[in-house]
Amino acid sequence: MTIADDIAKIIAQEQAIAFASFDEAEAFALGSRMRERALADELPIIVDIRTWDRPLFYAAMPGSTASNADWARRKINVVKMFHKSTLRMFLEQGGSVQEIGARHGLSVSDYVLAGGAFPIRVEGAGVIGAIAISGLPQRQDHAVVVEVLCAHLGLDGHALALAAD
C-alpha cells in the first residue's frame, strides 16, 4: 500500500464512521468498549473521549504513562483544528511530527502529528469531538480506535481497516 492508498482509506473511514447522536451515555459506552478491548489485549494505553467543550471519558490502562495523556491531548487538538484523524494528518503533512509547526504555525507542545485520534462525527452536525488513545505505535493506535468505533457502530471493520504494514 502506498501513502496515497492509506490516505484514501482513512478518508473512507472518516466518512463511514458517524454517529446518529452523541452524548455522555454514548461516550461512556464507547469508552467502556475501548477499555474492555485494552484490558483483554493488555494494551498499555490511555483512552480520552471529549467534545470540544469538555471531557466525557478517560481511562488509563496498566503500563500507560503520564506522557500518554499529554500525547492524547495534543492529538485531540489536531482533530479539533483540522477535523481529520491524526494519522491522516501525519501522512498528508509528509510524515513528520515537526511539520505541524512548519506548515501551520502551531506549537508542537500543543499539537502533534501522530496516529491515534479520530473525529467524532454526528450525522447532520459534523465533527463535534474526538476519541484518542496513546501508548502504542501510531498506526496501531489508529487501527485500534477504528476497530472499536466500527464494532460500536456495527460497521464492517475489516472492510474499513488499513492494510497491514
pLDDT in tens, 44-102: 999 999 999 999 999 999 999 999 999 999 999 999 999 999 999 999 988 766 567 77
CB 162, CB 10: distance < 8 Å: yes
| Global pTM value | 0.95
Asked if 47 and 38 touch (Cβ cutoff 8 Å), the reply is yes
C-alpha cell at 118: 479520530
d(CA 110, CA 77): 7
Selection from 48, 47, 46, 49 nearest residue 65 by Cα: 46
What are the tens digits of pLDDT across the range 28-56?
Answer: 999 999 999 999 999 999 999 999 999 99
Q: Is the pLDDT of residue 1 over 80?
A: no
Among 31-35, 148-152, 161-165, the least confident range: 161-165
Residue pair 37/136 in contact (Cβ under 8 Å)? The answer is no
**Into which CATH architecture does domain 3-160 fall?**
2-Layer Sandwich (3.30)
> Which residues does residue 134 pair with via DSSP β-bridges, in sequence order?
46
| Edge-to-edge strand list for the sheet holding 54-60 | 54-60, 46-51, 126-134, 117-122
